[in-house]
Amino acid sequence: MISLEFQKYEKVYNEQLKKGPVTQKAQFEYAWCLVRSKFSADIRKGIIFLEELYQNGNAEGRRDYLYYLAIGNARIKVGVLMFEHMNSLLRFLNIVCSVANTQT
């Protein structure tokens, strides 16, 4: 059974796709639902969307993209990629903390 949340975000994504480019917000929300799916095909699709967002998306979302990339890869048991994404996330958070400490 597909959740109402999944259906909602899938509908928004598909409507935007029909009209033209999809917003980063809509793509992320749909990808977030996909990586939480119980179906590996959905998880893989979500990973593809998140990788695209990570490469081309805004800098503010990179932490979230990495986090859900790690989760998605862990769920389909691609441990090496999961660890790479987690290491990237930790480096990103370390940079953010360092910048925050220098500003105070």
Confidence of residue 1 (pLDDT cuts 50, 70, 90): very low
Total structural domains within the chain: 1
Domain hosting 22: range is 4-103
Confidence of residue 79 (pLDDT cuts 50, 70, 90): low
CATH classification of the domain holding 89: 1.25.40.10
Angle at 37 between CA 35 and CA 43, to 5 degrees: 40
Which tens digits make up the pLDDT trace of 16-51?
999 999 999 999 999 999 999 989 899 999 999 999
pTM (predicted TM-score): 0.73
